Amino acid sequence: MSSPATGEGAGNTEYGRKAFKRSKSHFADRITADGRDGWPVEPGRYRLVVSRACPWASRALVSRRLLGLEDALSLGVTDPIQDDRSWRFTLDADDRDPVLGIRFLHEAYDKRETDYPGGVSVPAIVDVPSGKLVTNDFQQITLDLATEWRDLHRPGAPDLYPEALRDEIDEVAEGIYRDVNNGVYRAGFATSQEEYEAAYRDVFRRLDQVSERLRDQRYLVGDTLTEADIRLFTTLVRFDAVYHGHFKCNRNKLEQDPVLWGYVRDLYQTPGFGDTVDFDHIKRHYYVVHTGVNPTSIVPVGPDLSGWLTPHHREQLGGRPFGDGTPPGPVPTGEEIPADHRP
């Protein structure tokens, strides 16, 4: 998620006032086992910078937890309210990231490329020794965590991108990305009625297809959790809180679709998913930052979150969340979601 809707550094007031276009990741180097891009996988060398408000960054949060990479890849969390200078480390002492020593994420971008003109987005992985941004390629980061970082996975980590299912995962994830992950933004930041209605139709057509797919199977691909489920979850968990109202995706709330509501509650209650979600950060970011959409910056009090912890009964469909593996351990100290930011 970059600072402006267009990814071009226009500032918070431009959200919803310019035609929306998802920027490509400008820094697409990969951190790999063989270090072919100059960035070898090394425990402790890199820092993952996220906003808990951002669905794209939340993918990396979930993957890191499920794979048990917390000790190998440290975590920096930004304030959910960024300003026109980019994501801020105002949640930390002295308003600085304690490891990188910077006040704004753009400083790591600037060290990599002077006068970089594009948006400063999360997730971002930063090389700690040099302070340089390595990658902001949100599509590739989680795939590499699942594959290239395998030697650093915890014992019992699930295979989130199994080779035999990759073609199907990629196909399912592409439709979800185009029509759901990105579709809600196209609807929310539309600048014409026609543009909005086209995006709205795409969102709900795809959600109906996904709902039908999940009616008789617990997970999107195969009988275990995969990358596809992570990518869908991070949009669904935000749907009723922000996309239904703020982005006008209001044909129905998620909780009105028994299949999708059961599915997303199943994931939320699975260790590694819900324990990364901060509903306070999510709501404050969208409603305060997007002043082009919500000029008053008033943050809704609702919705009621208690339903997230109710029984989902999806286990009756079978499936093994972690395959032959095990759930991740407790959330590391300092990474817990505050009690009043969750159900």
Distance CA 264, CA 245 (A): 19
DSSP helix/strand/coil, 199: helix
Sheet with 124-127: list strands edge to edge. Answer: 74-77, 46-50, 124-127, 132-135
Closest CA to 54 of 253, 290, 229: 290
Active site annotation includes 200: no
* Greatest pairwise CA separation for the chain in angstroms: 55
Distance CA 2, CA 189 (A): 14
Distance CA 257, CA 227 (A): 23
Q: At what angle do helices 258-268 and 227-238 cross, to 10 degrees?
A: 110
CA angle (157 as vertex; 29, 80 as ends), nearest 5: 55
Q: Which of 46, 161, 185, 196 is catalytic?
A: 185
Q: Which residues contact 166 (CB under 8 A, 6 or more apart)?
A: none
Q: Which of 54, 109, 243, 263 is catalytic?
A: 54
Active site annotation includes 249: no
Total length of the chain: 343
The catalytic residues are: 54, 185
